[in-house]
Amino acid sequence: MRWFAAITFCILLSMFLHRCSAQSCNSNAAASVASSGTEDDFSWLDRVKVGYDGGFVIASQGNVDLNASRDPYRLKINGWGQLRHTVTDLSPPSRDLNQLQLKRGRLVFSGNAFNPNFHYFIQLDARSTNGDDVRLLDYYLDYDVGNDQLGLAPGTLTFRTGKYKVPFSMSRWLSGRDFEFADRSVASIFFDVNRSFAWGLHGKNERLGVPIFWDAALFNGLVTGGAETGSSGTLDDNFAYSGRVRAYPIGDWGDENLADFECHDRLAMRVGAGFAASTIDRFGTTEFNRLRVVDSGATLSTLLPATVSGYDVSLYAVDTSIKYRGWSSSFEYYFRTVSAVRGAAIDELFDHGFWYQLGKFIVPGKLQLATRWSRVQGDSGTLGGRDQCAEELAASLAWYFRRNQAKLVVDMTHVDGAPISSQALDISPGNHGWLFRSQIQFSF
């Protein structure tokens, strides 16, 4: 990112020199403008704002002649990272870890272009599991068509296109910066649909006196991310679709998504629900080889007969969170069905699970204790023969230096037959045993 630092430095230096020059040469500049009838070539810098507002911001009021539109332009730069130490004590044949890892190293560019109703978001990601590689994690464009074309209040109806988180679960909707533990739960990863290329709509409505936010999307598939598309790609030709709604029926929720930094003296509540569905064909190996089963964590594709050409999958989720006097509680339940299996006589497979966590500030706004229980149960691992289950129990201690901008989280987790493979959680299929994680987070 040396080029970016150099460009930012040049912009700030130019503004400083211009202001110094303007103060020392006011009379000459005024005479020059009067005689030529034109402004100083750099006077537009007086109307450019540079500072910090939830991120480093470079913004223009719009009345600047740069051979471009006179509408507002804005760039916000954010960054955050998580450095984690992981130690495991797992039953054989699992290999134990004792490692320092960069789990998330993010650089975010966001803002407006052309007019305030066009918003862009670009997020770069680096992590130790990818070596020195940096990937383009998210990139999308929002167009507030409701405000720009229909005269509705900002945010009422917005079109989104690009690669982003598929609207489905609360756990995935949450940013990794908000967690009360080092990372997500086992259940939330098992039922995750993650990111994909998508077209979608989202908006908000407060006509009923309750803030309601909604999202809907048509996307390439479940957990397909930036998979190669086109005739040489590994995706099938079936779109997936999803939706999510959340509301805040009681109280003022506050700025943070989980922990009760405000120490609410009145109960605050958030509720939500989501769904996702797709048809998956065998030749689309990116999706066909993705779904895992309870409780071995093997992929469903390795259990299905070779004659199976595809199946349908649908997922549902409901969630609720509360805050009250330093307490915070979140609960999310998932349901997944695999049906219409083509090429074999296999009945509908049904899996379900949840995660529940409870946190309490011991020192208001600074020291928090939290516990979590996560469970996955279903018959997918036996192709409908019988139910199996896997569980996770965890506890954490978090010290917040500056809320979620700077914090230390130490947690311990016990897994009993992990049904997932997750580099983020350092968990592999079938793991039994303990994980101990210490994580420093810093963001700006």
The number of folded domains in the chain is 1
**Closest residue by Cα to residue 193 from 228, 168, 160, 173:** 168
- Classify burial at 51, counting beta carbons within 10 Å of its beta carbon; exposed 0-12, middle 13-18, buried 19 or more: exposed
Residue 27 lies in a domain: no
pLDDT digits (tens, 9 = 90+) for 324-353: 999 999 999 999 999 999 999 999 999 999
Return the pLDDT at 45: 64
Q: Residue 367: what pLDDT?
A: 98
User: Alpha carbon 384 to chain centroid distance?
Assistant: 33
Q: Which of 265, 257, 387 is nearest to 332 (CA)?
A: 257
Tell me the residue range of the domain where 127 lies: 54-443
pLDDT at 239: 96
Among 231, 350, 242, 339, CA closest to 284 = 231
pTM of the model: 0.86
With respect to residue 17, please indicate whether it lies within any of the assigned structural domains: no
CATH at residue 89 = 2.40.160.10
Instruction: Judge whether 270 lies within some domain.
Output: yes
Q: pLDDT tens digits for 263-304?
A: 999 999 999 999 999 999 999 999 999 999 999 999 999 999
pLDDT given for residue 74 in this prediction: 86
Q: Which two tokens stand for residue 62?
A: 């719009």
Which residues of the chain, if any, have pLDDT below 50?
1-39, 63-71
Asked whether residue 19 is assigned to any structural domain, the reply reads no
Residue type, 126: A
Per-residue pLDDT at 306: 96
Q: Is 128 part of a structural domain of the chain?
A: yes
- Residue by residue, DSSP assigns 389-419 as EEEEEEEEEEEEEETBTEEEEEEEEEEES--
